[in-house]
Structure 1
């Protein structure tokens, strides 16, 4: 599935100091060559806007022409790729930690609910 990214890919706002260049960061440039334009723009946008905000959602819809739901699906898949880790190790490591923390919290809440449900069932009997 191809996405038209004419202004997002070439927008100077996405060209940050950590934009890959073969001279400065050969590993990052190699990683970038293995990521699609969309994947690179998603990582740059996430780096630029690390928190949920109306402004970030607007940039996603306007620049990438995709829904925010699709953006986060792409991002979730992307952070599992070694190429993404090589492209921006700090960002991807942070996102992986966040994902792990949230999954642990969901699991803990689920276990509490199940425990409470079992206790309720025992009282009913």
Structure 2
């Protein structure tokens, strides 16, 4: 299954969100009509898909690394 145009647009946005001159949350709300939690959930599920990895491997790997780092930091804070 290929990525939809909307999914491709979301990946393109994630690659360049800072160019919109706003925070990621407000830019995502304007561009996709999604709140921060909804947008994050969509991106998280999208980066798990092999089609997303094939479409933009550098971005998807970077997002996966960032997510893993955040999870590790959260677990370390809770353990402390």
Q: TM-score, normalised by structure 2?
A: 0.82
Which entry has the higher C-alpha Rg, 1 or 2?
Answer: 1
How far apart, in 2, do the equivalents of 1:109 and 1:59 lie? Answer: 29
Task: Decide which of 106, 114, 117 is 2:74's aligned counterpart.
Answer: 106
Pairwise CA distance, 1:83:
0.6
How far apart, in 2, do the equivalents of 1:36 and 1:59 lie? Answer: 20
State whether residues 42 and 71 of structure 1, in contact with CA within 8 Å, keep that contact through their aligned partners in structure 2. Answer: no
> Is 2:61 aligned against 1:93?
yes
State whether residues 53 and 60 of structure 2, in contact with CA within 8 Å, keep that contact through their aligned partners in structure 1. Answer: yes
> Is 2:6 aligned against 1:38?
yes
Deviations 1:24-55 (A, max 9, x none): xxxxxxxxx711222111100000126xx735
Q: CA RMSD in A?
A: 1.9
Indicate the residue corresponding to 1:78 in structure 2: 46
Runs of 4+ residues over 6 Å off in structure 1: none
Unaligned runs of 5+ in 1: 1-32, 113-125
Count of residues in correspondence between the two structures: 78
Unaligned runs of 5+ in 2: none
Indicate the residue corresponding to 1:29 in structure 2: none
Greater helix fraction, Structure 1 or Structure 2 = 2
